Homo-oligomer: A and B are copies of this chain.
Amino acid sequence: MWYTKFGPSGDVVLSSRIRLARNLKEIPFGTKMTQESEAEVIEKCRTALHDLKYIDFSVMTPIEKQALSETHLVSPEMVQNPHKCGLITNDDCTVCVMLNEEDHIRIQAMAPGFDLDSCLDTANIIDDRLDCVLDLAFDPKFGYLTCCPTNAGTGMRASVMVHLPALTESGNMEKIIRSLSKLGLTVRGIYGEGSRALGNIYQISNQVTLGVSESETIEKLNQIISDLIEKERKLSRDIYEQNKLRLEDRIMRSFGTLTNARLLSSDESMNLLSDVRWGVNLGILQNINLESLSNVWYQTMPANITTAFNTQDATERDLKRAELLRDTLRKD
């Protein structure tokens, strides 16, 4: 899957994503939708993107839905969606069009590492294909019309997922979040609004969609994120130089726990994996592959464990999680 691959600036940026919100002109928005109009959205989009795979999201079990959300294929909101809804994806899931989430259509394009430009290219291709055959709600003054006015305009949300152990550990994140906010960006934990930054992973995205172009938004985000990447890299080296032994001790302890524990909760393993990833970047841990770290990170999420091992029992899940982590890290 794309999300386990190592991309540009992959030492800090895990993945990039562009989401475009679109709606059909002749169909009511949001709460005004009927079952018929929900079916109509799905039908029209399936026809327009007939060469891609359609997944009926409504018939999936809650755990299957959760598992897709854990790998960021669908939004957390989509999991709770009571409406008739569906997904259109390509084989490697770098594209996932959510149908009847908050808007009729939400095109998502994703890439490993720091690569918003290629995400935008991919999203634009899908957008153009839909635009050719469907009548999208577009206003010459306001741009694309969306269910929630905060998305109107470009309808674009560009986001990157970054791993910032050094900035977090040194207590810099609160200040950074405030200053990014002043620059019109939102910083959240790994699983959307209000979620904690488990494993020192943050999602950074643009807030403004009205009065700016897609390219302006991305250019600005690229610049700010590049700065942030450099800050993290420099601070990480500084912390290591200042007390090599202390950091090595901490990282090796985390590695020791991950490779020996018999029961690991999701929260604990995310924090330990954060240390191990940091250790790999600093060269403290060798022969460990960042891609397999990303892979096991997703594999050991609660719903992914539950579906893979067909168990709902919390202890059994912690046991399987510990097994998977041990096998992965020892093989490396």
Give the B-binding residues of A (Cβ under 8 A). Answer: 245-246, 248-249, 252-253, 255-263, 315, 319, 322
Q: Does A257 contact B253, Cβ atoms closer than 8 Å?
A: yes
Determine if A261 and B257 form an interchain contact, defined as CB atoms under 8 angstroms apart: no
Bound: A85/B206 CA distance, A = 78
Residue among A262, A263, A322 with max Cβ neighbours from chain B (10 Å): A262
Tell me how many chains of this kind the complex includes. Answer: 2
CB pair A252–B262 under 8 Å, yes or no, is yes
Q: Is chain A's binding surface mostly helix, strand, loop or mixed?
A: helix
Within 8 Å by CB of A262, from B248, B257, B260, lies B248
User: Whole-angstrom distance from the CB of A207 to the nearest CB of chain B?
Assistant: 43
CA distance A92 to B33 in the complex (A): 89
Within 8 Å CB of A252, what residues of B?
Answer: 260-262
B261 and A245 within 8 A (CB): no
- What are the residues of chain B within 8 A of A319 when measuring CB–CB? 245
User: Shortest distance in angstroms between A313's beta carbon and chain B's nearest beta carbon?
Assistant: 12
Q: When the two chains form the complex, which single residue of B249, B255, B256, B263 contacts A246, counting CB atoms closer than 8 Å? A: B263
CA of A319 to CA of B248, assembled, Å: 11
Bound complex: CA A322 to CA B250 (Å): 13
Give Cα A249–Cα B265 distance, bound, in whole angstroms.
12
Once the chains bind, are B260 and A255 in contact (CB under 8 Å)? Answer: yes
Query: Bound complex: CA of A260 vs CA of B276, how far in Å?
Result: 12
A173 to chain B, nearest CB (A): 26
CB-based contact A253/B261 at 8 Å: yes
CA distance A256 to B246 in the complex (A): 17
Smallest CB gap from A255: residue in B: B260
